[in-house]
Amino acid sequence: MRVIDSHTEGEPTRVIVEGGPDLGAGGMDARIARFRTAYDDVRKAVILEPRGSDALVGALLCEPTRTDCATGVLFFNNTGYLGMCGHGSIGVAVTLAWLGRIGRGVSRLETPVGVVAVDLIDDNTVTVENVPSYRYRQDVTVEVAGLGRVTGDIAWGGNWFFLVKEAPCPLELTYERELTSAALAVMRALRDQGIGGRDGGEIDHIEFFAEPHDAGADSRNFVLCPGGAYDRSPCGTGTSAKLACLAADGLLAPATDWVQESVIGSRFTARYRLADDGAIVPSITGRAFVCAETTLVRQDNDPFRDGIA
């Protein structure tokens, strides 16, 4: 498989551009279901060690069903599949530009949760207009082993998030293990106590917040993704979920910039417009940089041909 690696504000994306599985026809939701059931070995080989890492997010390019889209894209990670990925969409856009498949201006990506617009501002800067986002429940309290009562909001930004208002410790990389442990405990507690998103959607992202380090930012976050790896970027879908909560609380007006700082200090600039149904449509601006072009090899006699599970 030919892949192109990039990072978006520190968070890696690996795009399969040739040699991926043929998932046939149908919508992106049907194709990702086929990917999951028939070709999960490909996901593991691309993402898991020795070829990948827990922090890596993969993206498979495929033919779109819509003529107004540049490509279809299916996102996946170390434990499964994602409906949408904000940093990954920025990485995909920069990768498509690197390949000469899109130019400056607005293009569209077809994902399993809807069409996402990507505006290529320059070779590295992209604004993603995400899927409509909204807060589902406010001030939900869960009993968490080792932490006690933890309160947060449940919001959709392309994935389900639990946004915790009080971080359990400083949002510094030196506390990464403590933050990861706390976020995993919150995730387990939500699952065990039957707390989820709309229609029982699993909450598989936990987001902590604190005051930013940089005077030019509005907030600092730590986001734990499915599979237990923290997001090096400020998280596009997580920032979208945050905007939905701010909008619902009347704390951020439409078309007003909100700068989200990650735990490593990288930043996204976000804003939103109102949707017709009371949800918001967030736009996230960030930078991605191509890191490598390579061919992944899977030899039949390799005991870790499909990754180290």
- For the annotated catalytic residues, the residue numbers are 85, 235
Residue whose structure tokens are 């434990």: 79
Neighbours of 92 (CB within 10 A): 31
Question: 208 and 170 in contact (C-beta within 8 Å)?
Answer: no
DSSP three-state, residue 193: coil
CA angle, corner 87, sides to 172 and 38, nearest 5? 115
The token pair at 235 is 């998280």
Distance in angstroms (rounded) separating the CA atoms of residues 156 and 158:
6
Intra-chain end-to-end CA distance of the chain, in Å: 20
Which residues pair with residue 13 across a beta bridge?
Answer: 6, 57
